[in-house]
């Protein structure tokens, strides 16, 4: 038996956690630069469509009293880690599928024991983190995913075992089946396959013709045949940091500052994973949604002489790469940095190391840099190459405080003495 634990409206739930005054208020969360809707509370679903640009729904939000938030990924990431920690304490057979979804392998437990385990775990997650979840149970990962869909979107229940309730598959559009993308959805609908139940009953040879062996596996999993177990976590093959600008930029120095900032963010992930980068690339893009402006995009790559984890060296190389592809006369909307050819620190060749004195000095520098970041936040210290004014910074005019990661943002609770009582409220 597999279980899928899904945090309900995760980003909206994170925002609501420290704002009890918004318990029944519709909430939407916007993408980077306050661009479009990427999350909605249940109350907002009937009012605002997912992916809608904010400028189109601003009046709707005002009219209906919708609370609007800029995305706060520091908060979401920290609360996600707390949820995952609770789950991993309860089971060691876990696959973290996304920031708000986790698969569990409950093989060996009876259906009744699985349900009891999931109900207890759900209550514990809510009590320890404040994040509500829904849990779907099935004999395969795909069925567990479908059970979660039925639990949240159709029945509104917390835990559902779909094993003895396969009839619900006829209520799920084929496009909602896990693993069926838009291209396959169009092909399946054209072939008369409209629901998950239709996919279960479809001829396997026809599915192979419409898609490939992966589509056949989806159908088999819906039938209860296990085609995929828990995925083993794999080391990252690359690390990317990129973001659209709050306002388009045309100067080289503005782009260089943004590239340096992305280098630092990617480097933080690199160090956290205990890796070194053997290759580096930088890319630039103009705004494809502005056909009235000249369009340009390019990418420059460099294979490093030796794998490195030095922020200063990676920043120096990234600036050189930007110089190769920067062109005057364009309004740039986005830049990014990618670290490739990652290798663990332990695998670095002794013959590729810099001299011992240089290596020790760089290690001390990075240790101090990271210590400051841990104590005062990731943006407390940065290289001068990032600049101070940062005209390229993303818009986040409605961002909530980092309640769980910054001391200065801790919520304050006022206690007052009740009249004729020693109880504090």
| pLDDT per position as a tens digit, 162-171 | 888 888 899 8
pLDDT score recorded for residue 396: 62
Residue 362 lies in a domain: no
Instruction: State how far the alpha carbon of 56 is from the alpha carbons of 26, 61, 63, 249, 272, in Å.
Output: 17, 10, 13, 24, 39
- Quickly tell me which residue has 């600008």 as its tokens: 245
pLDDT score recorded for residue 313: 92
Q: Is residue 182's pLDDT more than 50?
A: yes
Question: When comparing pLDDT for 370 and 262, which is higher?
Answer: 262
Question: Does 293 share its domain with 330?
Answer: yes
Question: Does 66 share its domain with 96?
Answer: yes
Share of the chain residues as helix, strand and coil, in percent rounded to the nearest 5? 45, 20, 35
Residue 177 lies in a domain: yes
Question: Does 33 share its domain with 150?
Answer: yes
Answer for the pair 75, 399: CB distance below 8 angstroms, yes or no.
no
Pick from 129, 59, 133, 68: nearest CA to 101: 133
Q: Is residue 61's pLDDT more than 70?
A: yes
Q: What is the pLDDT of residues 146-155, one digit of tens each?
A: 999 999 988 8
Residues counted in the chain: 425
Choice among 112-116, 322-326, 332-336, 391-395 with the minimum mean pLDDT: 391-395
Pick from 54, 35, 394: nearest CA to 44: 54
pLDDT score recorded for residue 346: 65
Coil, strand or helix: which one is 83?
helix
Domain that holds residue 240: 236-347+386-406
Question: Does 154 share its domain with 262?
Answer: no
> Mean pLDDT across the chain, nearest whole number?
87
Question: Does 276 share its domain with 327?
Answer: yes
Residue 99 lies in a domain: yes
Question: Does 15 share its domain with 142?
Answer: yes
Tell me how far apart the alpha carbons of residues 46 and 42 are, in angstroms, rounded to a whole number.
8
Q: Edge to edge, what strands does the sheet with 67-70 contain?
A: 37-40, 27-30, 67-70
Q: What is the mean pLDDT of residues 121-132?
A: 96
Residue 244 lies in a domain: yes
Choice among 77-81, 196-200, 373-377 with the minimum mean pLDDT: 373-377
What percent of the chain clears pLDDT 70, i.e. is strictly above it? Answer: 91
Residue 101 bears catalytic tag:
yes
> In terms of pTM, does the model score above 0.85?
no
Choice among 15-29, 315-329, 376-390 with the minimum mean pLDDT: 376-390
Instruction: Give the highest mean pLDDT range of 30-34, 90-94, 323-327.
Output: 323-327
Residue 367 lies in a domain: no
Q: Which CATH number characterizes residue 324's domain?
A: 3.30.1490.100
The domain total for the chain is: 3
pLDDT score recorded for residue 425: 42
Question: Does 25 share its domain with 155?
Answer: yes
Q: Edge to edge, what strands does the sheet with 2-7 contain?
A: 94-98, 101-105, 2-7, 133-138, 159-161
Task: Give the end of a domain, one of 109, 139, 161.
Answer: 161
Q: Is residue 316's pLDDT more than 90?
A: yes
pLDDT score recorded for residue 351: 46
Q: What is the pLDDT of residues 23-53, one digit of tens each?
A: 999 999 998 778 889 999 999 998 999 999 9
Question: Does 252 share its domain with 214?
Answer: no
Choice among 38-42, 80-84, 204-208 with the minimum mean pLDDT: 204-208
Catalytic residue among 101, 176, 228, 313: 101
């Amino acid at each position: 038996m597999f279980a899928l634990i899904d945090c309900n409206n995760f980003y909206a739930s994170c925002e609501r956690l420290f704002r009890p005054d918004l318990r029944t208020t519709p909430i939407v969360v916007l993408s980077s630069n306050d661009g479009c809707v990427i999350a909605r509370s249940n109350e907002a679903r009937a009012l605002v469509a997912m992916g809608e640009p904010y400028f189109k729904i601003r009046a709707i939000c005002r009219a209906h009293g919708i609370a609007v938030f800029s995305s706060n990924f520091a908060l979401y990431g920290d609360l996600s880690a707390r949820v995952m920690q609770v789950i991993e304490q309860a089971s060691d057979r876990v696959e973290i599928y996304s920031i708000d979804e986790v698969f569990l392998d409950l093989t060996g437990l009876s259906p009744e024991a699985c349900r009891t385990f999931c109900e207890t775990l759900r209550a514990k997650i809510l009590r320890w983190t404040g994040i509500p979840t829904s849990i779907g149970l099935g004999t395969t990962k795909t069925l567990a995913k479908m059970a979660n869909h039925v639990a949240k979107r159709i029945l509104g229940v917390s835990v559902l075992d779909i094993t003895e309730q396969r009839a619900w598959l006829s209520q799920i559009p084929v496009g909602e089946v896990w693993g069926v993308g838009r291209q396959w959805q169009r092909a399946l609908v054209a072939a008369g396959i409209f629901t998950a139940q239709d996919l279960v009953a479809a001829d396997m040879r026809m599915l192979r013709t419409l898609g490939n062996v992966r589509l056949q596996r989806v159908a088999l999993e819906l039938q209860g045949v296990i085609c995929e177990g828990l995925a083993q976590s794999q080391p990252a093959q690359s690390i990317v940091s990129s973001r659209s600008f709050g306002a388009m930029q045309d100067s080289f120095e503005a782009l260089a500052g943004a590239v340096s900032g992305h280098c630092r963010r990617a480097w933080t992930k690199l160090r956290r994973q205990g890796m070194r980068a053997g290759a580096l690339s930088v890319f630039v893009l103009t705004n494809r949604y502005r056909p009235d402006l000249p369009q340009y995009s390019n990418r420059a790559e460099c294979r490093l002489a030796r794998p490195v984890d030095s922020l200063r060296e990676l920043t120096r190389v990234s600036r050189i790469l930007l110089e190769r592809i920067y062109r005057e006369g364009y309004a740039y909307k986005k830049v990014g940095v990618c670290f490739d050819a990652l290798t663990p620190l332990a695998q670095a060749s002794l013959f590729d190391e810099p001299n011992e004195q240089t290596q020790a000095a760089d290690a001390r520098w990075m240790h101090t840099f990271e210590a400051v970041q841990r104590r005062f936040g990731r943006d407390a210290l940065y290289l001068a190459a990032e600049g101070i004014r940062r005209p390229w910074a993303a818009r986040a005019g409605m961002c909530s405080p980092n309640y769980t990661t910054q001391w200065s943002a801790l919520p304050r609770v006022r206690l007052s003495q009740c009249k004729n009582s020693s109880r504090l409220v």
